[in-house]
Amino acid sequence: MIAQPQPHRSPIDPAAPLSVRDLTVTYDRKPVLWGLDYDAPAKGLIAVVGPNGAGKSTFLKATLGLVPLIGGTVRIFGKPVGEMRDRIAYVPQRESVDWEFPASALDVVAMGLYGKIGWLGRVTGKHKKTALEQLDRVGLADFADRQIGRLSGGQQQRVFLARALAQDAQVYLMDEPFAGVDAATERAILATLVDLQKAGRTVIVVHHDLDTVAEYFDHALVLNVRKIGDGSVADALSADILRQAYGGRLATAHLPDLARAG
Amino acid sequence: MISVQDFLLIDAPAMVTGALAALACALVGNFLVLRKQALIGDAMSHVVLPGIVVAFWVTGVISAVPMLLGALVAALVAAGLIEAIRRLGHMEPGAAMGVVFTVMFALGVVLLERSGGRDVHLDVQHALYGNLEGTLWIGADGWGSLVDPSALAELPRQLVTLAVITAVIGALIVLFFKELRLVTFDPALATALGFPAHWVNLAMTVVTAAAAVAAFEAVGSILVIAMFICPPATARMLTDRLTTQVWLSALFAVGAGLLGYLFAAFGLGWFGIDASLNAAGMIAVVAASGQVLAMLFSPRHGVIARRRAIRRSADEATAQRLA
Amino acid sequence: MENLLDILLFGGGYNTRLVMVGAALLGAAGGMVGSFALLRKRALISDAISHATLPGVAIGFLVAFWLTGSGRNLPIIIAGAALSGALGVLAVQWIKDNTRLAEDSAIGTVLSGFFAVGIVLLSWLQGLEMGGRAGLQGFLLGAVATMTVAEAELIAGLALAIVVVSLLLFKEFKLVCFDPDYAASIGRPVRFLDLAMMGLLLILVSIGLKAVGLILVIAIVIIPPAAARFWTERLSVMVTIAIGMGAVSAYIGAGLSAAADDLPTGAVIVLVQGAMFAVSLLVAPNRGAIAAVLRTRSDRRAYAAGTLAEPDMPDRGRYPE
């Protein structure tokens, strides 16, 4: 197959919190994302789903400019990412940092404010107070002084969430916040995401568990290197799209369930 | 008993130089250890040799500014090469580093032997383990010299260079503490927040090279690594706070510098043997011994405390089962 | 220059020839053992080992002096070096397993701590009246000029033994490097094989001290395999190239250093290897830098022109757990 140049991609809507056109990323010549066009609905709670190696994490990283693009454009409310850094918050996968690092939970949450403090600015008592409020929102105010390595996995995930809350962004990008957390933490995180959505923010979450997508989210983007489908969970998780994304290995028994749930 | 004049002429400048060399490296080393890039310190301390030799070759004099510039250029070349080899060769960073720093060090050794090697101030021996003993304060003439401007003007060049570089490194760490903390902990978030991690990393490499070159003359290429790693690693075993860690490492570095020199100069004398040991080596031995003590006896993270905690929890589990 | 050519073509005296052949065998053994170290991601452990040998060198010298009246006794010094290098490896492992410090800090600590102890011991030895202590400096940067026939024969013999043992265990080493868990599952003694690899590395580093010196001996382990990696995707080919590069570079380096006696042997060997590495990095087909740049450029152009081949339907993922 030969890719044709794409002369008529739809124009970017400046009201869309996140728009990408023709987003293409390769690692060592292997395409990871291919010609992706996507507009995130404003105030959506959006799941990014797809099989392993489908480019879900890469999609978030490419959006943030953390991986080099082979081609394509990324716009946040119609503007380049570089100008909109203070409107985006990113929650990386928990394994991406060293939890033995000498920092307290409060230190980590305060990092979310560094962008606003800017180069050379000091972290003051006011910033610490803001950070503590965010820790309180995720129920960890009592753990503010604890070294992060001595928190449980779920608590660490909530520290990351509090850090993103501290960034006070319009668009939240989260890479598998539910991975490896217990059921109580999962509910607490979900409640926070719903709060964010109610406050008019857009939340985009890479999610691994197809069974809970329809329950937790209202929109979905299905990836497998290319965009396979998007829209409301009902539209995006149709049996047809899932079969395209996951192939025959997806237990067929699952499909009707998912489709019905959607 | 040694005279005041001898002490100020020979021992005091060497002690202060040793302590400053350890301090400059330890301050930078904190961030290298936390990013698991301690061996960048290793690589940088080797690659500054060809830089220094070439600078010496070009200018014909040993003086701080050209040496520093030569070493920084060499450090940047090395950093670029390591990155290029890592990417192009799909090689683990350790191997890429090993290729670059051995070749550049070999180049430095050959240049040294071929050119200025016959100059008394710069030879392979000093490149390997420093020349702390050769740091003399010629103008010193009693305690009064400490406040006498004309005597202070004759302070050894290495000591002055080290003092300036240590002060600059200290100031940079205070000013950019927040940025260093963020980039060290989570480079992706740092970049996303507008603090480009690769620029901070590059700056870090330059500062590492500056510390290495400043300490190089005093303690040589290899022992610099002990200064980069041992004091921060010791502090790392003792605290969970970054600021505390940096302060502790500074304290340990200065302590190792002073004690190490004293042991080297006078240690054998205490046993009635009239000889002295290599001072730079002794400083590194003291720094490493401190780290061994911390690894064993740190109240929370030490091996013994950990073993005891594991045994206690096992005992409690047994007790619960029995109850 | 004529002199050098003469030497390279076996025109030097018997001693020179023997030393060069010994160096070549050492280089070959370095390429062989280094290939496995590189694939097992243990390149920099060799750096810790080599620096950790210094206290053993000094103590070996003392023991030899007490036993024989002269410290100049290569077998005892090699044994001391290997023992203290082994202690260094154990120390790295202990720090890694028992403290919160990561491997890089462990390597740096052991490397500099052992080296410092060695330097202090040497500075003490220098003050004593002992026969043969002048030769000790040669262990830092390597000196073949002062090597005796017996020493060269010992180094050559041990290097040959390393190559032979590695060839015998080639298949097993390959498996352990590629997939240790699988190797264990089919009943291969992974721990023993790892230990064997580490033991060969230790011996290699210890016999390399005299010729290459402990600062740079790590290079003959790292550079030839790293350079060979650019030329091939197959282990047997890679090892063959690494052995060849190691042997040729050490042979040329030892010859150069014999021709101009103020050049430290180790540094010259490493520079020759560095040149081979640079050539490999640049011009190797497929994995080389020039090939990579050309390929990326053609990719970008093709992408811009819209003629880059699209991926086939992407791999079907597994159903997520």
Q: What ipTM, to 2 d.p.?
A: 0.89
Strand partners, A39: A19
What is the span of the domain harbouring residue B67? 4-322
For chain B, the residues whose C-beta falls within 8 A of a C-beta of chain A are: 34, 36, 90, 175-176, 178-179, 181-182, 184-186, 188-195, 236, 239-242, 244-245
**Of the partner residues C99, C108, C118, the one whose CB lies closest to the CB of residue B303:** C99
Contacts of C314 in chain A (CB under 8 A): 31, 34, 54, 224-226
For residue C49, the number of C-alpha atoms closer than 13 Å in the C-beta half-sphere is 26
Q: Identify the pLDDT of residue C319.
A: 33
The answer, for B82 touching chain C at a CB cutoff of 8 Å, is no
- The CATH number of the domain where B139 resides is what? 1.10.3470.10
Q: Identify the pLDDT of residue B121.
A: 55
What element of type H or E holds B27?
A: helix B12-34
Task: Provide the phi-psi class of C204: left if phi over 0, else alpha when psi is between -120 and 50, else beta.
Answer: alpha
Q: What is the residue-level pLDDT of chain B in tens, covering all 323 positions? A: 577 778 887 888 899 999 999 999 999 999 999 988 888 888 888 898 899 888 888 887 767 788 888 888 999 999 889 888 887 777 788 889 999 999 999 999 888 877 654 454 566 777 777 778 778 887 777 777 777 777 777 788 888 889 999 999 999 999 999 999 999 999 888 888 888 888 888 899 889 989 998 888 888 888 899 999 999 999 999 999 999 999 999 999 999 999 999 999 888 878 777 778 889 999 999 999 999 999 999 998 888 988 888 888 888 888 887 77
Distance (Å, whole) CA C259 – CA C253: 10
DSSP C309: B
* DSSP-assigned states of every residue in C196-262: HHHHHHHHHHHHHHHHH-TTTHHHHHHHHHHHHHTT-S-HHHHHHHHHHHHHHHHHHHHHHHHHSTT
Distance (Å, whole) CA C82 – CA C18: 24
Identify whether the C-beta of residue A114 lies closer than 8 Å to the C-beta of residue B182: yes
Burial of B216 (0-12, 13-18, 19+ CB in 10 A): buried
Smallest CA–CA distance, residue B109 to chain A, in Å, is 38
Closest among B88, B53, B94, B89 to B70, alpha carbons compared? B53
C-beta atoms of C137 and B125 within 8 A:
yes
Angle, in degrees to the nearest 10, between helices C217-229 and C265-283 = 10
Closest among C62, C202, C74, C200 to C118, alpha carbons compared? C62
- Number of domain units in chain C: 1
C-beta atoms of A53 and C307 within 8 A:
no
Sign of the torsion angle spanned by Cα atoms C257, C258, C264, C266: positive
Identify whether the C-beta of residue A33 lies closer than 8 Å to the C-beta of residue B161: no
Q: Which residues lie below 8 Å from residue B188, measured CB to CB, with a gap of 6+?
A: A61, A64, A66, A90, A92, A96, B197
Q: Which of A58, A60, A66 is the best residue to mutate to test the B interface, defined by the most B CB atoms within 10 Å of its own CB?
A: A66
- Give the torsion through C-alpha atoms of A97, A101, A106, A108, to 10 deg: -30
C-beta atoms of A247 and C306 within 8 A:
no
**Of the partner residues B39, B237, B303, the one whose CB lies closest to the CB of residue C44:** B39
Which residue shows structure tokens 């002690």? B15
Closest alpha carbon within chain C to B97: C44
Q: Which of A119, A127, A171, A173 is the best residue to mutate to test the B interface, defined by the most B CB atoms within 10 Å of its own CB?
A: A119
- Number of domain units in chain B: 1
Closest among B81, B109, B107 to B95, alpha carbons compared? B81
Sign of the torsion angle spanned by Cα atoms C285, C289, C292, C294: negative
What is the span of the domain harbouring residue C102? 2-304
Residue C78 included in any domain: yes
Q: H helices then E strands: how many in chain B?
A: 14, 0
What six digits make up the tokens of C297?
């450029």
Identify whether the C-beta of residue A60 lies closer than 8 Å to the C-beta of residue A171: no
Contacts of C105 in chain B (CB under 8 A): 33, 36, 38, 229, 233, 236
Contacts of C101 in chain A (CB under 8 A): none
Burial of B133 (0-12, 13-18, 19+ CB in 10 A): middle
Contacts of C229 in chain B (CB under 8 A): 89, 91
| Cα B279–Cα B281–Cα B283 angle in degrees, nearest 5 | 70
**Of the partner residues B175, B192, B240, the one whose CB lies closest to the CB of residue A147:** B240
Q: H helices then E strands: how many in chain C?
A: 14, 0
Closest alpha carbon within chain B to C282: B88
What six digits make up the tokens of A217?
């989210």
C-beta atoms of B181 and A111 within 8 A:
yes
Identify whether the C-beta of residue A185 lies closer than 8 Å to the C-beta of residue A150: no
What six digits make up the tokens of A29?
């010549």
Q: Which residues lie below 8 Å from residue A28, measured CB to CB, with a gap of 6+?
A: B90
Identify whether the C-beta of residue B46 lies closer than 8 Å to the C-beta of residue C242: no
C-beta atoms of C218 and B98 within 8 A:
yes
C-beta atoms of C270 and B106 within 8 A:
yes
DSSP B270: H
**Of the partner residues C100, C317, C321, the one whose CB lies closest to the CB of residue A54:** C317
C-beta atoms of C109 and B91 within 8 A:
no
Distance (Å, whole) CA C150 – CA C147: 8
Contacts of C263 in chain B (CB under 8 A): 110, 113-114
* DSSP-assigned states of every residue in B155-185: S-HHHHHHHHHHHHHHHHHHHTHHHHHHHHH
What six digits make up the tokens of B193?
């927040």
Closest alpha carbon within chain C to A50: C317
Q: Identify the pLDDT of residue C40.
A: 83
Q: Which of A90, A95, A113 is the best residue to mutate to test the B interface, defined by the most B CB atoms within 10 Å of its own CB?
A: A90
Identify whether the C-beta of residue C190 lies closer than 8 Å to the C-beta of residue C176: yes
Contacts of A226 in chain C (CB under 8 A): 314
Contacts of B97 in chain C (CB under 8 A): 44
* DSSP-assigned states of every residue in C87-143: HHHHHHHHHHHHSS--HHHHHHHHHHHHHHHHHHHHHHHHTS--TTGGGGGHHHH--
C-beta atoms of B192 and A64 within 8 A:
yes
Distance (Å, whole) CA C11 – CA C17: 8
Smallest CA–CA distance, residue A17 to chain C, in Å, is 27
Contacts of A251 in chain C (CB under 8 A): 319
Closest among C37, C49, C21, C54 to C224, alpha carbons compared? C37
C-beta atoms of A224 and C100 within 8 A:
no
- The CATH number of the domain where C20 resides is what? 1.10.3470.10
Average pLDDT per consecutive 10 residues, chain A (262 residues; last block may be shorter): 53 86 81 88 90 88 86 89 86 86 91 87 90 91 91 91 91 90 87 91 90 88 87 81 73 50 44
Going along chain A from its start, the domains and CATH numbers come out as 18-246 (3.40.50.300)
DSSP C313: S
Identify whether the C-beta of residue A32 lies closer than 8 Å to the C-beta of residue A225: yes
Which chains neighbour A (Cβ–Cβ under 8 Å, 3 or more pairs)?
Answer: B, C
* 3-state SS class at A90: strand
Identify whether the C-beta of residue B213 lies closer than 8 Å to the C-beta of residue B205: no
Distance (Å, whole) CA A219 – CA A221: 7
C-beta atoms of C101 and B109 within 8 A:
no
Closest among A149, A163, A148 to A113, alpha carbons compared? A163
Q: What is the pLDDT of residues B25-65, one digit of tens each?
A: 999 999 999 988 888 888 888 898 899 888 888 887 767 78
Contacts of A3 in chain C (CB under 8 A): 306-310
Please give the span between the terminal C-alpha atoms of chain A, in angstroms, as a whole number. 33
Q: What is the residue-level pLDDT of chain C in tens, covering all 321 positions? A: 456 667 676 666 777 788 888 899 999 999 999 999 888 888 888 889 999 999 999 999 999 988 887 778 889 999 999 999 999 999 999 999 999 899 899 999 999 999 999 999 988 887 776 666 667 777 888 877 778 888 889 999 999 999 999 999 988 888 888 778 878 888 788 889 989 999 999 999 999 998 888 889 999 999 999 999 889 888 889 999 999 999 999 999 888 887 776 678 889 999 999 999 999 988 888 778 788 778 777 766 766 666 655 554 444 433 332
Closest alpha carbon within chain C to A180: C321
**Of the partner residues B42, B90, B92, the one whose CB lies closest to the CB of residue C41:** B92
> At residue C156, what are phi and psi to the nearest 5 degrees?
-60, -45
Distance (Å, whole) CA C140 – CA B198: 36
**Of the partner residues B95, B109, B282, the one whose CB lies closest to the CB of residue C264:** B109
Contacts of B125 in chain C (CB under 8 A): 137
Instruction: Return the number of CB contacts < 8 Å for B and C.
Output: 201
Residue C195 included in any domain: yes
Q: Which of A57, A70, A178 is the best residue to mutate to test the C interface, defined by the most C CB atoms within 10 Å of its own CB?
A: A70
> At residue A73, what are phi and psi to the nearest 5 degrees?
-130, 150
Q: Identify the pLDDT of residue C261.
A: 62
Identify whether the C-beta of residue B62 lies closer than 8 Å to the C-beta of residue B122: yes
